[in-house]
Each structure stands twice: as C-alpha cells, then as structure tokens.
Amino acid sequence: MHHSALKNSQEFYDCYSPFFGGDIVRVVEIGAQNVNGSIRDACPENFEYTGIDFVAGNGVDIVLDDPYKLPLNAESADIVVSSSCFEHAEMFWVLFLEIMRILKPRGLFYLNAPSNGSFHRYPVDCWRFYPDSGKALEKWARHNHLDTVLLESYVSDQTDDQWNDFVAVFLKDEGFLSDFPKRIVEQKEDFNNGVVYGSSELIKPIFISEDVKKLLAIELIIKKQIKINMT
C-alpha cells in the first residue's frame, strides 16, 4: 500500500466517522488483503470491520466466489471502503451497484483508485480514474433508480512515489445529505480537481498532470544544461 492511500483513508475517517453513532458501526472493505499495509489501520477501533477479497490472505474475513456478488444482506453496512481495487475490477460499475445494495440508506462509500501510475496486474489492471469519474458513477446509480449522490471527490498530490489517487465519497441516499455537513477538501491542501456536492466548479483545477509537470521541468533543466555546455 502506498503512503497516500493510508493518508487519504485516515482523512476520510477523520471527516466522516464522527457522524456515525449507535452501538455498532459496520465497515466493509472491498479488496482487503494486506500485502504491504492496510487501510484497516485507519478505521476507528470501535467500528466493526469486515474485510472482503477474491483470495484468502492477511486481513481477509470473507473470500468471494463471485467478485461481483457480495455475500452480505441488503442495507447491512454503514460504510464501505475500497482502496487500490477498482482498477483491477473488469466491470467496476457492476461492483459499484452491489456496494450500493449492501449499504444502509445513510451509508457512505469511500473509493480510492489510481489516477495514474504503472501497469500492475492483480490479476488484471484495467482502469484509471479522472476528476469526472465520481459524477459518472453518480449518474450510473441514478440510471439504476438509486438516489445516490457524490459528496466530494479529488485527486491527491503525489507523496514519495508515482501515484496520484482519485478519491470519492458517495452517499447512498440523498435524503440523508444533512447528516454529513463536512467535506475532506475543506481542510485538505494537497489535492487538485476537487468536486463537492452542489457545485459544478472544480476546486484547485489543473489540466496538466503532476507527472507531465515533472517531465516538463526535467526537460527544461536538460535544455538549460545543454545551452550552458554549448557556450
């Protein structure tokens, strides 16, 4: 797990977990195998946690027979989280609807998926997510007669590696919008192309990726060095 994945998940819980009360808050993670770290570490200790994956391993409580069918009751989860998984789901839109099925009406889905980065099969690598991806999934939910809304999304800055993470937070039923008055991007600085519910304007918009900016900077340094060497 890369550093920004854990950081983003911690910021999600810091922002949204205070709005969950009651005796038991049920969290389900999709793609839970702990390979080199786990976002389970960011979850509040008093929350009940279930890790799901299509292979057995550390951090996996339920192994799926079908990657698009979650063996959980409808409206049984308060929060579903998934990090660095959707890029490996050949039909992530099918999984998205299944996640909506198991969420309670005021449930949240936290999605973290790469917006760039190297090709990495597990067992396949199919997708990258861009600033409009969250709104597209919201429209897909509405197309399937759900009242799901995108509360916010953003692309986080690179930290000590190659990855820019696309992060999105969905609320299953818009009727519970007033239960969640805060947003991660209100306190966060290290992101670009943020989207929040109720606004069509991008927050901190950029149209050249961080990778390209770095390449252009290197190219400029090389050109300057060549010019110096020629004089």
Provide the β-strand partners of residue 160.
Answer: none
The predicted structure's pLDDT at residue 87: 96
Q: How far is CA 175 from CA 146, 147, 171, in A?
A: 11, 8, 9
Contact predicate 125/176, CB 8 Å: no
**Nearest CA among 134, 190, 202, 153 for reference residue 4:** 190
Angle between helices 92-102 and 133-143 (to 10 degrees): 60
How far is Cα 74 from Cα 148, in angstroms, rounded to an integer? Answer: 15
Question: Does residue 231 carry a pLDDT above 80?
Answer: no
Kindly report, residue by residue over 72-98, the tens digit of the pLDDT. Answer: 999 999 999 999 999 999 999 999 999
Q: Which residue has the tokens 């900077």?
A: 217
The predicted structure's pLDDT at residue 22: 80
Contact predicate 67/92, CB 8 Å: no
Question: Does residue 192 carry a pLDDT above 80?
Answer: yes
The model's confidence at residue 67, banded by pLDDT at 50, 70 and 90, is: very high
CATH number for 3-206 (one of 3.40.1390.20, 3.40.50.150, 3.30.70.260, 2.60.40.10): it is: 3.40.50.150
Every domain of the chain and the residues it spans: 3-206
Contact predicate 182/142, CB 8 Å: no
**Nearest CA among 129, 165, 182 for reference residue 6:** 165
Kindly report, residue by residue over 139-184, the tens digit of the pLDDT. Answer: 999 999 999 999 999 999 998 888 899 999 999 999 999 999 999 9
